[in-house]
């Protein structure tokens, strides 16, 4: 079991470039999410999905797009990178079955360190 896999581990972009951060999980988790981690600010939720075809915004969604075409994959797209998006990005998943699982712990990937110059 690989768990939650994120690629790439490191990425450097120039302002205005676009890219997609990949996230895949093999635990058949219905819930997936993206967080960014910045110094002194903890982790902040960007977008999340409760199943294929369903996505919603988190706390800091501006500048990011997501889609969920399969249960396994939840890519995060930066359409026009800005220096303010320099951060460490974490993908996380958890088991979700109606109300009984909203408390499920999140399983995190190892993160992607993104630098925008």
Partner 1 sequence: AQKVTQAQTEISVVEKEDVTLDCVYETRDTTYYLFWYKQPPSGELVFLIRRNSFDEQNEISGRYSWNFQKSTSSFNFTITASQVVDSAVYFCALSENTGTASKLTFGTGTRLQVTL
Q: Which residues bind partner 1 (CB under 8 A)?
A: 31, 33, 35, 40-45, 48, 50, 56, 58, 88, 90, 92, 94, 96, 98-99, 101-108, 110-111
The nearer residue to partner 1, 33 or 85, going by C-beta atoms, is: 33
Report the nearest approach of partner 1 to the CB of residue 50 (Å). Answer: 5
The nearer residue to partner 1, 31 or 64, going by C-beta atoms, is: 31
Q: Are strands 54-57 and 10-13 parallel, antiparallel or unpaired?
A: unpaired
Give the Cα separation of 16 and 14 in Å (integer).
6
The nearer residue to partner 1, 17 or 37, going by C-beta atoms, is: 37
Pull the structure tokens for residue 113. Answer: 């360190």
- Cα dihedral across residues 94, 7, 52, 79: positive or negative: positive
């Amino acid at each position: 079991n690989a768990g939650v896999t994120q690629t790439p581990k490191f990425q450097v972009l120039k302002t205005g470039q676009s890219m997609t951060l990949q996230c895949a999980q093999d635990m058949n988790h219905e819930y997936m999410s993206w967080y960014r981690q910045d110094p002194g600010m903890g982790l902040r939720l960007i977008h999340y999905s409760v199943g294929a075809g369903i996505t919603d915004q988190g706390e800091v969604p501006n500048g990011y797009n997501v889609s969920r075409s399969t249960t396994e994959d939840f890519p995060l797209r930066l359409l026009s990178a800005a220096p303010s998006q320099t951060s460490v990005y974490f993908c996380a998943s958890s088991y979700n079955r109606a109300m009984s699982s909203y408390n499920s712990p999140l399983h995190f990937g190892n993160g992607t360190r993104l630098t925008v110059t």
